[in-house]
Chain A
Amino acid sequence: MKRLDRQSFLGCNSDEVLDAATVGLVGLGGGGSHHGQQLAHVGIGGFVLVDPDTIDLNNTNRLIGGTQLDVDANLAKVEIAARLIRGIHPGARVKALKSDWRFVLDDLKACDVLFGAVDSFRDRDQLERFARRFMIPYVDVGMDVLEHPDSQFLISGQVIVSMPGGPCLRCCNFITDEKAGTRGRTIRRGWWASTGCLAKRRAGFHRCGHRTRITDALAQSPFHLYGVRWQPKDRVAEPLDDRARASRVPALSTSRNWRPRFRRSTARCGHG
């Protein structure tokens, strides 16, 4: 009997495929430590673990594998994750790097998949950009506990797969320039988001009761971003009602066939 016999439904050679894969885990806290554990359970063979932090007492309520002894020893989170992974999968190739992820890029470039469980939108934005630049599928996972007016708290989170060539975190409106603290740059006919995804292709997540559905911004308007809508010149123009907003948007188009028309958007995804 082999350890992975119960997941043979994944394919006749799934053991070899999973063992040959190398996964990068950036952030080994409450989220990332779960990823390490589960990926080791399913038989992933290579791990690049990156986190600059050591465990604190208040991490032990959620950090998988973390113990009071680790807190006393001021152990690095990557060492705790490495110990956990080797305990589950003794043959795993584990590289534990107690460092900011920006200092170990060469190790991350070699990964087949990156999991990001980092704290800030800026880190998420930069990590995703790095992953897409080197054609590495990026899985962003995170959660937060927020105050809610109708109840004491609201727990929410996201799992987003950013596949090279597919929609990015900005397409999902999960990251915006405001959140990430960065600015996109303009090109002739659109807004080039920092990830290199043309804004006219972006899609939005639209909150609808308790469900979230993905809607395509193009279904509502040909071009929509940050409250700016674009229409062909031959359509009937509507009065400009937000000059102040327009002034913050750089001049985009010099094309003879397209003219900008500014209108206040009531929702970020454009379906307000």
Chain B
Amino acid sequence: MRSRFKITKGLLASIRADLGRPHPFAYERVGFVLAAAAQSASDVLVLAQEHHPVADEDYLPDSSVGAMMGPEAIRKAMEWALMKKVCIFHVHSHGGRGIPRFSEVDVRESTRFAPDFLKVAPQMTHGSIVLSDDAAAGRWRVSGNSGPHDVSEFVEVGIPMRKWGSS
């Protein structure tokens, strides 16, 4: 199943800027992208709408990873999924250039929390995306479907419009 993740240039820039802010003790910042989902003739469309940074107080001190979210951050994201009926994509940045890859920690942690979003909003797709300074990669899940799928194509909607494939 092909998927296309669409996000406006302005929103993507604001996410990158937010993730670049320093945190009092975490090495990096993370957040959630709220998105709508639709089906086209050939693709599943994920349409990014909002970005919600994880609040400073919702990080846990954990020197083994760049940033560790606490349960309150997950609870808030689950509440958005439940109340707003939206897709939830965890987002963080690896910096650098080119299409990034998920680290082992990213895969391990997203496997833990992404299925929880499917429990509260099973009609939507959920997952995680990782940004670089000029590209992104993503994984998504749907209810009742085995394993995460790679986002087939990212579209940065703006002038100029940019598209890239992550798989």
Contact = CB atoms under 8 A, between A and B. Distances in A.
If over half of B's interface residues share one DSSP class (helix, strand or loop), that class is named, otherwise mixed; here it is strand
A165 B45 contact: no
B41 A137 contact: no
Contacts of A20: 163
Given A135-B8, A165-B10, A106 B161 contact: no
A226 B11 CA distance: 30
B45 A137 contact: no
B41 A110 contact: yes
A109 B157 contact: no
A165 B12 CA distance: 12
Given A134-B45, A163-B157, A110 B40 contact: yes
A8 to B, nearest CB: 17
Contacts of A242: none
A241 interface: no
A167 interface: no
Interface residues of B, number: 20
Interface residues of A, number: 14
B63 interface: no
Given A112-B155, A112-B161, A134 B38 contact: yes
Contacts of A106: 39-41
Interface of A: 20, 106-107, 109-110, 112-113, 134-137, 163-165
Which 6 pairs of residues, A with B, have the shortest CB-CB distance? A109-B40, A165-B8, A106-B41, A110-B40, A135-B6, A107-B41
